[in-house]
Chain A
Amino acid sequence: MKTNKLFLALTALALLACNKKEPEVIVPQTADYKGTVTVMYKGEPYDNENIEVNFTPSEDGKTASITIFKIRFVPQMPVTIDVTIPNVQLTSTSTEVLLSCDEVIPLAMGGEYPRYKVTNLTGSIEHGTLDFSLNFGDIPTTFTGRQLLK
């Protein structure tokens, strides 16, 4: 009888052990975000509000490109431009996707645009919020925005 009870207890433990999962990492998904880009102009923050940003990961989920639409780097710019940051490294955890990129030439106006070389990009995607900071050339820039519902 004791043997049976012991067997049942072991079986229950085994079943419990089978049902316990490792924490899952987030799979990066293509998404659009809308928020504020802040660039530092002459030491003062200059906000670009209601800016849309597209986040498109690669197929393996290890890198992504980030496109910032209609950004203005200085208030005097008579135009806004679309800028794409390629090859952003992704690190997924169970709660967030971390972004990083030490240095990359962004794409704008039909090609590479070294004038605004991207350095020190760090950021994350967590709970529908995209945050990142970087330098466009020597212009410190940040973005915070919420994912747009499709």
Chain B
Amino acid sequence: MLTAVLSIFITLTPPIDTLPPAYAKAFKESMPLEKLASPVSVLLPAELKTEGVVGQARLSALVPSLLIPEYGASLTSTVYLRGIGSRMENPSMGLYVDGIPIMDKNVYDFDWTGIRFAALMRGPQATLYGRNSMSGTLVLQSASPDGETHLNAYAEAGLAKTLRTGATVSFGQHVLTAGFKYSAGWSRNEYKGTLCDPYQGLSLRWKWEQAPSGKTRWSNSLFATLSKEGGFAYGLYEDGILHPVSYNGEGSYRRISLIDGVGFHYSGDSFTLDGTGSLQLLSDDMHMDQDFTPQNVFTLQQAQNSATGTVEVILKSQKEHWQPSAGVFTFYRYNRMHAPVTFGRTGIENLILDNANRNIPEEIGYLTIADDELLIASDFGINTFGAALFHESVFTLGCWRLTAGLRLDYEGGVMAYDCLTNLHYRFIPTMKADKALDVPYHGTVSHSSGLQVLPKLSALFEASGDVSLFGSVSKGYRAGGFNTQIFSDILQSQTMTALMKDLGVYLDNLPTSVGAENTRYKPESAWNFETGVRLVKENFRAEATFYYMNVRNQQLTVFPPGKSTGRMMTNAGASRSLGAEAELDWRPGAFHFHASYAWCDARFVSYNDGNHDYSGNRIPYVPAHTAFASAAWRHSFGTVNLNLSASVRAYGPLCWDETGLLQEPVHIRPEARIALSFSKWELWLRGENLTGRTGRNFYFKSVGREFFSLERPCNILLGISINI
């Protein structure tokens, strides 16, 4: 099976050894990318433009084993890579932008205007990149100043009133970039009669670099985004039928983020010193109709104000046969979260009173709540902090490059929660009037990852000038944390218990619920065993990789049974991912062929949620295959170039839940692009998802009901750009 899938892999790039120095500095590695003993997919500006990679989701399938479905809103950013991923909390893929580690998944999804380079290193990169780089690390680099004056501007418009426009101006030591994106939306909310997922966003970037001497270089990268959008286009799935999106509550997301990173580089005679410090601010506000029905059941707001500081220093030495590097990393993050859940009248009746009265004998009486709305107020102050020491040595011995690395990583967190429910209840027939009841719930809870020891051993053997073989063993980990989204369930349970106690009634079969101390979830860790072969010859490049990942304490989003309203992260017992990946890139003459393929068999080794044993079942949301193939042809008519390209990306099948019974077939999305390039101008027309098929790309349960979201339909976009 493995050998059957060993073949097709491509990079869209010229050979990696031609990577411009401006991009190579985005990495922490002591050696060139082509000498790395792990697979890397690289996209340079031309490929980013040709494939319409305007954000991380467009990397899906283009990078083997990667799926980033577009659903929900910008804060969603669910990344599945090599069978590992999660919808909530910490991502399994690290993200670095201009050398700055992005610490909050809520800002992973942003407009890539101004991004000039993307590389995704697959497999655990924890030794150098630390927390959350468990299945891989995505490194992005924006345009850097070169002392010259440039202007690059573009505009692209398509269906659904889609508009993307932006400009990058480079002058002196500065690069300024601005981007704007607008969409009227794709999905209609049948209940409201409006499109539920409009988007408008602005991104601004300022980059400054200066080298006062040949040995030192300073840089500053400032990145801000402002966006306002709808989202959460989820339709009810009932009796095998997917109904249109139809809900009455607000579905929106607003985000302001500001990230500033300062970089310092010093080149000594026998060493280099790199320092990076960043400040990352985020203020966002999400409103969600959590029942996604026209009934007035319950809604959620989640507003965050967070500040994160990071510092990293790396010392490297360049000797002929030994290139050691050592570093220290530390961060602190404070997140103030306001996350009230509001129950409407239908929710009070169906979710709270029905549950309570079901357990009270009719002859005794029954409970009523007079309020039209029931607010469960939840505020959290979450402190997260971490520190790491790491070292990596690369030994060059003839045709061999041996790497040994070790990272010691610690992370902890403290969460203060302050929750309050107030309501007016009455027990009939005994109570003659409504009675006010306040139910406070507050305290602190902490978690610690312990000291994570993250080793790495790898070897690369250059069998010839063109072929190299590599293998590696490494460990990665994803940080633990707190389940804040389960607090609505906790508070419902606390409220009901307090109400019953106030009444003097005690249920024999009190519904079980977790408490705040149970909201901690543990870090997830993975050992990765990998071997591969790489061929680079002139205009041809191919790479194939086999891996086995052994995952412990896998973090999974689960829905408590019954009519529960929350969701929570749990540490599944164990899982493993077995897979093969291949990429191929060939540029004969005016043609350019590129293909990538991945097979992934990710299964639970042991997972029993207390009700069912899912051992042996596929891990939900992880596609068994991803594939991408493209062909491009360029022809010159004097000063005018005609560029034609067509591609197809596919992923699937996948399971939607742990049982494996609900499955999604393979999705196939063809795309095409035609462009006319002049000396400074380019005009293009491109189409995405040309068949218009809208497969399901997300599944979840809420209050016992099932929901799906759909992929976006066909989009045709007309664009123009200028380079001067």
Given the known A-B contacts A70-B506, A109-B504, A110-B435, are A78 and B430 also in contact in the complex, defined by CB atoms under 8 Å?
no
Query: Min CB distance, A78 to chain B, in Å?
Result: 5
Q: Determine which of A79, A82, A111 lies in contact with B364 in the assembled complex, contact meaning CB atoms within 8 Å.
A: A79
Q: Convert B347-367 into 0s and 1s, putting 1 for each residue whose CB lies closer than 8 angstroms to a CB of A.
A: 000000000000111011100
Pick from B359, B430, B508, B509: contact of A111, CB under 8 Å: B430
Q: Is A113 an interface residue (CB 8 A)?
A: yes
A18 at the interface (CB under 8 A from B): no
- Determine the distance from Cα of A83 to Cα of B431 in the docked complex, in whole angstroms: 14
Near A by CB (< 8 A), chain B positions 360-411 give 360-361, 363-365
User: Closest approach, in angstroms, between the C-beta of B498 and any C-beta of chain A?
Assistant: 14
A67 nearest in chain B by CB position: B504
List the A side residues contacting B430 at CB < 8 Å: 108-113
Contact mask for chain A residues 18-47; partner B; CB cutoff 8 A; 1 contact, 0 none:
000000000000000000000000000000
Known: A78-B359, A79-B359, A79-B360. A109 touches B365 (CB 8 A): yes
Q: Are B361 and A79 in contact (CB under 8 A)?
A: yes
Smallest Cβ-Cβ distance to A109: which chain B residue: B430
- A77 contacts the other chain (CB 8 A): yes
CB atoms of B427 and A111 under 8 A apart:
yes
The answer to whether B431 and A79 touch across the interface, beta carbons within 8 angstroms, is no
Interface of B is mostly: loop
Task: Check: B503 CB closer than 8 A to any chain A CB.
Answer: yes
Number of interface residues of A (CB under 8 A): 16
User: Could you say which interface size class chain B belongs to?
Assistant: 20 to 34
**Does B680 sit at the interface, judged by CB under 8 A?**
no
Decide: A109 and B431 in contact? CB cutoff 8 A.
yes
Q: Which residues of chain A come closer than 8 Å to B505, judged between CB atoms?
A: 79-82, 109
Taken together as a complex, chains A and B put the C-alpha atoms of A109 and B364 apart, in Å, by: 9
A93 → chain B, closest Cβ, in Å?
Answer: 33
Complex CA–CA separation, A78 to B505 (angstroms): 10
CB within 8 A of A82: which of B360, B365, B427, B504?
Answer: B504
In angstroms, Cα B432 to Cα A111, docked, is 7
Assembly CA distance A82 to B432 (angstroms) = 18
Partner of A80, one of B432, B506, B509: B506
Which residues of chain A have C-beta atoms less than 8 A from B426's C-beta? Answer: 110
Pair B508/A79 contact, Cβ less than 8 Å: yes
Is B436 an interface residue, CB under 8 A from the partner? no
How close is B622's CB to chain A, nearest CB, in angstroms? 43
Q: How far is the CA of A108 from the CA of B427 in the complex (A)?
A: 10
A44 CA / B584 CA spacing, docked (Å): 85
Q: Do B503 and A109 touch across chains, with their CB atoms under 8 A apart? A: yes
Chain A residues positioned under 8 Å from B503 (CB to CB) = 109-110
Contacts of A115 in B (CB 8 A): 363
CA distance A77 to B505 in the complex (A): 11
Q: Does B662 touch A at the CB level, under 8 Å?
A: no
Name B residues whose Cβ lies closer than 8 Å to a Cβ of A.
359-361, 363-365, 426-427, 429-432, 435, 502-509
| 23 sample A-B contacts, Cβ–Cβ < 8 Å, listed by A number | A70-B506, A77-B361, A78-B359, A78-B360, A78-B361, A78-B508, A78-B509, A79-B359, A79-B360, A79-B361, A79-B505, A79-B508, A80-B506, A81-B504, A108-B504, A109-B365, A109-B503, A110-B427, A110-B435, A111-B427, A111-B430, A112-B430, A113-B430
